[in-house]
């Protein structure tokens, strides 16, 4: 997605940026636009199984890939899919299948310092042995689904 009023390459007024990233083996490289400034953390069982730990991911508005043939995606629910490198298995993104939301795994960016921690979801699924420090919203599964209007 391009915006003719921002074609001089300078940062936009808000804190959303364009960032590059890729996988461990180098087979996948991407450019993400509209990258948010903070992580969301998800402790749900699907994320912990897929990621090997809690998900730390950042909202983006768009992603363009070099060598998109090397990106595979796993349909993890009726509404979402999870993308990874078919060669090295690096976790890249989660997106709603209707295209309305994409998040990118923090470690997939070439530089992932500078992101703050916005919130944690599925806090009631978190194993007891670790905690993220800091004062930020922590939502249970029910609180999160309620915020989306999916449950009462
Ligand atoms: Zn790879
Ligand atoms: Zn999750």
- What pLDDT score was predicted for residue 71? 98
Distance 59 CA to ligand 2 centre (A): 14
| Cα–Cα dist 36/19, whole Å | 10
| Mean per-residue pLDDT over the chain, rounded | 90
Residue-wise pLDDT tens digits, 108-132:
999 988 899 999 999 999 999 999 9
Average pLDDT over residues 121-147: 96
Ligand closest in space to the Cα of 26: 1
Residue-wise pLDDT tens digits, 68-87:
999 999 999 998 999 999 99
Ligand closest in space to the Cα of 40: 2
- Residue 55 near residue 112, CB atoms below 8 Å: no
Show the tokens assigned to 66: 């070099």
Q: Please report, for the chain, the start and end positions of each structural domain, with discontinuous segments joined by +.
A: 16-147
Residue-wise pLDDT tens digits, 34-63:
999 999 999 999 999 999 999 999 999 999
| Cα–Cα dist 61/80, whole Å | 16
In the chain, % of residues over pLDDT 70: 90
Cross-strand bridge partners of residue 19:
32
Distance 79 CA to ligand 1 centre (A): 25
Give 83-101 as a DSSP string: EEETTT--EEEEEETTSS-
- What pLDDT score was predicted for residue 150? 86
Identify the three-state secondary structure at position 101.
coil
Model confidence band, residue 14 (pLDDT cutoffs 50, 70, 90): low
What lies within 8 Å, CB to CB, of 150 at 6+ separation is none
The CATH code of domain 16-147 reads 2.170.150.70
pTM, entire model: 0.86
Model confidence band, residue 93 (pLDDT cutoffs 50, 70, 90): very high
Which run of H or E residues covers position 144?
helix 141-147
Average pLDDT over residues 4-32: 75
């Amino acid at each position: 997605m391009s915006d003719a009023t921002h074609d001089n390459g300078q940062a936009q007024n808000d804190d959303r940026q364009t960032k590059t990233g890729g996988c461990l083996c180098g087979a996948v490289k991407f450019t993400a636009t509209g990258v948010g400034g903070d992580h969301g953390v998800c402790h749900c069982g699907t994320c912990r199984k897929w990621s090997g730990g809690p998900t730390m991911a950042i909202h983006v508005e768009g992603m363009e890939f070099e060598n998109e043939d090397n990106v595979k995606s796993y349909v993890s629910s009726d509404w979402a899919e999870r993308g990874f490198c078919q060669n090295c298995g690096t976790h890249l993104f989660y997106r709603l299948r209707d295209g309305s939301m994409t998040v990118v795994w923090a470690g997939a960016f070439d530089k992932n310092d500078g992101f703050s921690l916005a919130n944690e979801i599925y806090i009631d699924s978190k194993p007891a042995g670790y905690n993220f420090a800091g004062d930020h919203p922590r939502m249970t599964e029910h609180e999160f689904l309620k915020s989306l209007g999916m449950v009462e």
